[in-house]
Amino acid sequence: MNAPLAPQTIYLADYQVPAYLVKTVDLHFDLDPAQTLVSSKLEMMRNPAGQGGALKLDGEQLQLHSVTLNGQRLSEAEYDCTDSRLVIDSLPDEFTLEIVTEIQPDQNTALEGLYHSGQILCTQCEAEGFRRITYYPDRPDVLAVFTVTLTADKAQWPIMLSNGNQVASGEFEDGRHWVCWHDPHPKPAYLFALVAGDLYCQQDSFTTMSGRQVTLQIFVDPENKAKCDHALLSLKQAMQWDEQAFGREYDLDIFMIVAVNDFNMGAMENKGLNIFNAACVLASPETATDDDFYTIQSIVGHEYFHNWSGNRVTCRDWFQLSLKEGFTVMRDQSFSADLNSAAVQRIDDVDMLRRMQFAEDAGPMAHPVRPDSYMEISNFYTVTIYEKGAEVVRMLKTLAGDAGFRRGTDLYFARHDGQAVTTDDFVSAIEEANDLDLAQFQRWYTQAGTPELTVECNYNQAEKTLTVTLQQSCPATPGQPEKQPFLIPVAVGLIGEQGQSLPLQLTDETQPIDGDTRVLLLTENQQNFTFINLPERPKLSVLRGFSAPVKLTQQRDNAELAFMMANDSDSFNRWDAGQTLFINILLALIAEYQSGSTLVVPELLTDQLAAILDNASVEPALTARMLTLPSENYLAAQMAVADVDAIHAVRSFVKRSLAVTLKIRFENLYQQLHQIKPYEFNAADLAQRSLKNTCLSYLMTLTEPVQVERCLAQMAQANNMTDLLAGLRLIVDVDGPQRQQALESFYQQWQHDRQVVDKWLTVQALSTLPGTLTNIKSLMQHPAFSLKNPNNVRALIGQFCRNNPSQFHARDGSGYQFLAEQIIALDKLNPQVAARQLGAFNSWRRYNADRQKQMQAALQMIADKSDLSPDVYEIVSKYLA
Ligand code: ARG
Ligand code: ZN
């Protein structure tokens, strides 16, 4: 084989309909981890809508045994087989093609296609993994009906699963057995899956809205059999929610979930057979935190919701990825909001969008929600496609209204059921069902970058009017120097001196609208909106609920922010005013720190926090968020030149100062919330633990023995992982003998549990004490760590590089050097995971000259390797461009 050349760029503009279609696929697997034989029988036809030409099947890392056309074995001269394709010329309009290939699951460390994870054989085909199983038109717009027969040794592989319904099975005399699965729903190859292993099965059932009974099964390694309940409950909640919220009913007799330990992403929505990263499905109170429980509920929902948004209606090509991902994230966010606290869900979603997606939009990999080119599609499973895509769908809902949005999605599902479509088709359905004109709105799909929204208010006492001037612009991104104005829905409210909501009446309107919030539509670069009948000067609450994914600039002094924090009727904006206040104060103190001045935390901030703490009984989950300082990374993104050391020093100083002044309040609140009772996953208990552990994190900055004792006591008494891990995290950041002791006893207790051991690795990766990198290097030699396991890599290396800025950005460049070495080693094993880790360098141009030089050198060291995967090549070359 030749060394791969620089990978080709693929363009949306080059899209062509497939030349050939597949009517049915009949797959036979003779399963064995060392060598698996795959026989594929395809009933194919020329696509009447196609351009004609040869049949080109995709295939990678396959050993071709035979090609048979209409029963006639072809000689090697009758086809052309390269390392990525099988090409056959001069075919009739309809034909049967049989292909036999051999693959080696044991050798598959990339975890794409068929691979061996622990004692399980499983697949991951999205986006382009099916071509590592057999030669096939591996593109999402070729839909076929699959029948799959699995054969293997019965003792070792008693369970064998694939998509759809099991239709037949049998045994051979030599101890082997076979199972046949049939999926009646035509699907693209990326939704194919198979699983084999000796698995424990937990079963339940769900009765759909039309009264059909569906069998639900979760398959896990036997040691995990006590960790299935939460996922099963989440699945039933998701099935019911999708019926109520979107009118979507499940469409097979069985729905299966399988947990595997080695998985590149979170989970995969294969038709009827979802495969999950074990970390995203297994939970028990003793081993999983509240955050884990929460995430599992949302991912189980996400994958289930794909059954309609992704599977029944799929993507025409991979440029349309956000068609299914953006919409499905929006659906899982709404699901979580309905089942838990909508206010907290919104805050957490926006917080993550701003931290991650805004950084992506501001960096060298910035791309539109519907990109127009890529080298490696795996690199485009991004926060832009997923989370910004979800924001775009959410704006469509805002524009159409709740009922109108539902009309639109009903039309979309009815019109495109069984089809592979585009984001344009989605927008058209919303448009037509509501008689809207969304032509300008489409720019959200085609233009990259985070729009900047500036707001100015002018109150006219004599006229009793408030004129709101909205202005928008969007910075240049790679390949897009100029941007056209977006259609931005700006939700606003007005607040009076007493904190009351004021009427919302625009010029020319005869009366105010009902309710305390209304949506202004900004379509131009600049527009004025004048509110009337306002005898007192109101305060404007703008972008309520974060009605559009934009960066907001609004001149507000600390006093006004404090007022809004206390009085805004929109809970998101109350939180956001607090975050802005924190940021303003922190940035001002950072400037002081840089000029060598003494730091003083403004009394106004302490007073605000005191008020929040005194009021904590109201909404503890919101209170916990209100008390949380913006992260170091997010602060870095607010500075022209990110000063890692100043940010770390000032943020720590502010937190500690607040703890000193408010110590009694934090202690009292902690006492009040610290109750030992059986673990339950419900909104109230979650909120209580979250606020309690926030208090503890303030108290631990005091480095007083009594606080360390408190923390150790919490760990000793904990009956759940949330409280235990919260304690461990804090102890590990305090130098002293208790640190090593806590880590050791935690490991002793939990070494048998992979999910918990990953937490143990993360806690150490996030330590801000000196020596963290040295410790990480030695942990990489620990039996608990393998570079081949993506969860291990993310828990240790990923967490260190992304979420421990003061250590990763060490002045000597050791963090950068370390990451470069790991990426080079990982690329040989698993290109997708290697490419992901590069993300830690995304903002490298935003640091000072010294650090830029060091990060550039690290990137160059990677780029200089001659045999990079397309995954790593694409990102490293775009970062250096
Ligand atoms: N479609 C999956 C989801 O639910 C993501 C799988 C992508 N996997 C990959 N290796 N690119 O979001
Ligand atoms: Zn998804």
Is residue 332 in contact with ligand 1, taking CB distance under 6 Å? no
Q: How many Å lie between the centroid of ligand 2 and the Cα of residue 332? A: 10
For residue 600, how many other CB atoms are within 10 A of its CB? 9
State the burial class of residue 785 (Cβ atoms within 10 Å of its Cβ: 0-12, 13-18, 19+): buried
Q: What is the dihedral of CA 615, 620, 623, 625, to 10 degrees?
A: 180
Q: Which ligand 1 atom sits closest to the C-alpha of 112?
A: 10
For residue 56, how many other CB atoms are within 10 A of its CB? 16
> What is the percentage of the chain residues whose pLDDT exceeds 70?
99
Average pLDDT over residues 36-48: 98
Nearest Cα to 269, choosing from 304, 313, 245?
304
**Ligand sitting nearest the alpha carbon of 378:** 1
User: In angstroms, rounded to a whole number, what is the distance separating the alpha carbons of residues 98 and 39?
Assistant: 7
- Token digits of residue 551: 């960066």
- Report pLDDT for 2: 42
pLDDT in tens, 677-720: 999 999 999 999 999 999 999 999 999 999 999 999 999 999 99
Compute the C-alpha angle 805/810/811, nearest 5°.
135
For residue 41, how many other CB atoms are within 10 A of its CB? 16
Average pLDDT over residues 799-809: 98
Sheet with 551-554: strands ordered across: 526-531, 465-473, 452-460, 551-554
548, 572 contact by CB (below 8 A): no
Nearest Cα to 258, choosing from 196, 177, 189?
196
Q: How many Å lie between the centroid of ligand 2 and the Cα of residue 302? A: 6
Q: What DSSP letter does each residue of 673-708 carry, written as one string?
A: H--------SHHHHHHHHHHHHHHHHHGGG--HHHH
- Token digits of residue 220: 């896990």
Is residue 321 in contact with ligand 1, taking CB distance under 6 Å? no
Is residue 307 in contact with ligand 1, taking CB distance under 6 Å? no
52 SS3 class: coil
157 SS3 class: coil
pLDDT at 545 over 80: yes
Is residue 126 in contact with ligand 1, taking CB distance under 6 Å? yes
859 SS3 class: helix
Is residue 127 in contact with ligand 1, taking CB distance under 6 Å? yes
> For atom 2 of ligand 1, which residue has the closest CA?
268
What DSSP character marks residue 486? P
Is residue 303 in contact with ligand 1, taking CB distance under 6 Å? yes
Is residue 88 in contact with ligand 1, taking CB distance under 6 Å? no
- Report pLDDT for 3: 45
For residue 864, how many other CB atoms are within 10 A of its CB? 10
163, 184 contact by CB (below 8 A): no
Compute the C-alpha angle 59/383/630, nearest 5°.
150
Is residue 378 in contact with ligand 1, taking CB distance under 6 Å? yes
Ligand 1 mutation target, pool 128, 130, 190, 268, most atoms within 8 A of CB: 268
Length of the chain: 881
User: In angstroms, rounded to a whole number, what is the distance separating the alpha carbons of residues 448 and 341?
Assistant: 31
User: In angstroms, rounded to a whole number, what is the distance separating the alpha carbons of residues 262 and 267?
Assistant: 11
pLDDT in tens, 321-332: 999 999 999 999
- Residue in this structure with the two tokens 């979420």, named with its chain if needed: 803
First to last CA, the chain: 29
Ligand 1 mutation target, pool 114, 320, 379, 381, most atoms within 8 A of CB: 381
pLDDT at 76 over 80: yes
- Domains belonging to the chain, first-starting first, are 10-198 (2.60.40.1730), 313-446 (1.10.390.10), 456-551 (2.60.40.1840), 556-732 (1.25.50.10)
Measured in whole angstroms, how far is the alpha carbon of residue 436 from the centre of its chain? 30
Is residue 827 in contact with ligand 1, taking CB distance under 6 Å? no
Categorize the per-residue pLDDT at 6 as very low, low, confident or very high, splitting at 50, 70 and 90: confident
Is residue 269 in contact with ligand 1, taking CB distance under 6 Å? yes
pLDDT in tens, 712-758: 999 999 999 999 999 999 999 999 999 999 999 999 999 999 999 99
**Ligand sitting nearest the alpha carbon of 190:** 1
Is residue 125 in contact with ligand 1, taking CB distance under 6 Å? no
Bridge partners for 145 per DSSP: 24
Phi-psi region of 177 (alpha: psi -120 to 50; beta: other; left: phi over 0): beta
Q: How many Å lie between the centroid of ligand 1 and the Cα of residue 803? A: 23
Please report how many Cα atoms fall inside a 13 Å half-sphere around the Cα of residue 118, on the Cβ side.
18
pLDDT in tens, 213-251: 999 999 999 999 999 999 999 999 999 999 999 999 999
User: In angstroms, rounded to a whole number, what is the distance separating the alpha carbons of residues 503 and 514?
Assistant: 8
**Ligand sitting nearest the alpha carbon of 309:** 2
User: In angstroms, rounded to a whole number, what is the distance separating the alpha carbons of residues 699 and 710?
Assistant: 9
Q: Which ligand 1 atom sits closest to the C-alpha of 303?
A: 4
497 SS3 class: coil
> For atom 9 of ligand 1, which residue has the closest CA?
126
User: In angstroms, rounded to a whole number, what is the distance separating the alpha carbons of residues 322 and 856?
Assistant: 31
Average pLDDT over residues 776-791: 98
Compute the C-alpha angle 413/145/210, nearest 5°.
45
Q: Which of 126, 128, 303, 667 is catalytic?
A: 303
* Long-range contacts formed by 368-372: CB under 8 A, 24+ apart: 368/445, 368/446, 368/447, 368/448, 368/480, 369/322, 369/326, 369/423, 369/444, 369/445, 370/12, 370/319, 370/320, 370/322, 370/423, 370/445, 370/446, 371/12, 371/319, 372/11, 372/12, 372/13, 372/319, 372/446
Q: Which ligand 1 atom sits closest to the C-alpha of 377?
A: 11
Is residue 268 in contact with ligand 1, taking CB distance under 6 Å? yes
Q: What DSSP letter does each residue of 102-147 carry, written as one string?
A: EE-GGG--S--EEEEETTEEEEE-TTTTGGGTS-B--STT--EEEE
Is residue 311 in contact with ligand 1, taking CB distance under 6 Å? no
Is residue 314 in contact with ligand 1, taking CB distance under 6 Å? no
Q: Cis before residue 127, ω within 30 degrees of 0?
A: yes
62 SS3 class: coil
Compute the C-alpha angle 503/509/514, nearest 5°.
40
For 453, the enclosing helix (H) or strand (E) is strand 452-460
Nearest Cα to 408, choosing from 519, 546, 247?
247
Nearest Cα to 773, choosing from 807, 739, 737?
807
Average pLDDT over residues 402-420: 99
pLDDT at 1 over 70: no
Q: How many Å lie between the centroid of ligand 2 and the Cα of residue 10? A: 22
Q: Using the CB atoms, write b or e for 753-777: b if 16+ within 10 Å.
A: bbbbbbbbbbbbbbbeeeebbebbe
Q: Which ligand 1 atom sits closest to the C-alpha of 306?
A: 4
- Report pLDDT for 616: 79
339 SS3 class: helix
536 included as an active-site residue? no
240 SS3 class: helix
685, 252 contact by CB (below 8 A): no
Average pLDDT over residues 800-828: 98
Q: How many Å lie between the centroid of ligand 2 and the Cα of residue 430? A: 21
Q: Which ligand 1 atom sits closest to the C-alpha of 832?
A: 10
298, 328 contact by CB (below 8 A): no
- Token digits of residue 387: 């989370």
Q: How many Å lie between the centroid of ligand 1 and the Cα of residue 305? A: 14
For residue 872, how many other CB atoms are within 10 A of its CB? 25
52, 89 contact by CB (below 8 A): no
Q: How many Å lie between the centroid of ligand 2 and the Cα of residue 21? A: 26
Q: Which ligand 1 atom sits closest to the C-alpha of 129?
A: 10
Q: How many Å lie between the centroid of ligand 2 and the Cα of residue 303? A: 6
Nearest Cα to 822, choosing from 870, 854, 862?
862
Ligand 1 mutation target, pool 265, 330, 869, most atoms within 8 A of CB: 265
User: In angstroms, rounded to a whole number, what is the distance separating the alpha carbons of residues 815 and 804?
Assistant: 10
> For atom 1 of ligand 1, which residue has the closest CA?
268
Is residue 264 in contact with ligand 1, taking CB distance under 6 Å? yes
Average pLDDT over residues 539-549: 98
Nearest Cα to 357, choosing from 166, 551, 541?
551
Sheet with 539-542: strands ordered across: 518-522, 488-495, 539-542
- Token digits of residue 62: 């396959």
179, 31 contact by CB (below 8 A): no
Q: Where are the beta strands (DSSP E) in 308-383?
A: 314-315, 373-374
Q: How many Å lie between the centroid of ligand 2 and the Cα of residue 459? A: 46
> For atom 4 of ligand 1, which residue has the closest CA?
268
For residue 248, how many other CB atoms are within 10 A of its CB? 23
Is residue 123 in contact with ligand 1, taking CB distance under 6 Å? no
User: In angstroms, rounded to a whole number, what is the distance separating the alpha carbons of residues 194 and 124?
Assistant: 9
Categorize the per-residue pLDDT at 5 as very low, low, confident or very high, splitting at 50, 70 and 90: low
> What is the percentage of the chain residues whose pLDDT exceeds 90?
99
User: In angstroms, rounded to a whole number, what is the distance separating the alpha carbons of residues 281 and 298?
Assistant: 10
Is residue 265 in contact with ligand 1, taking CB distance under 6 Å? yes
User: In angstroms, rounded to a whole number, what is the distance separating the alpha carbons of residues 805 and 824?
Assistant: 21
Ligand 1 mutation target, pool 111, 122, 126, 308, most atoms within 8 A of CB: 126
Q: Which ligand 1 atom sits closest to the C-alpha of 264?
A: 10
Q: Which ligand 1 atom sits closest to the C-alpha of 378?
A: 11
pTM of this structure: 0.98
pLDDT at 4 over 70: no
User: In angstroms, rounded to a whole number, what is the distance separating the alpha carbons of residues 194 and 270?
Assistant: 9
Q: Which ligand 1 atom sits closest to the C-alpha of 325?
A: 12
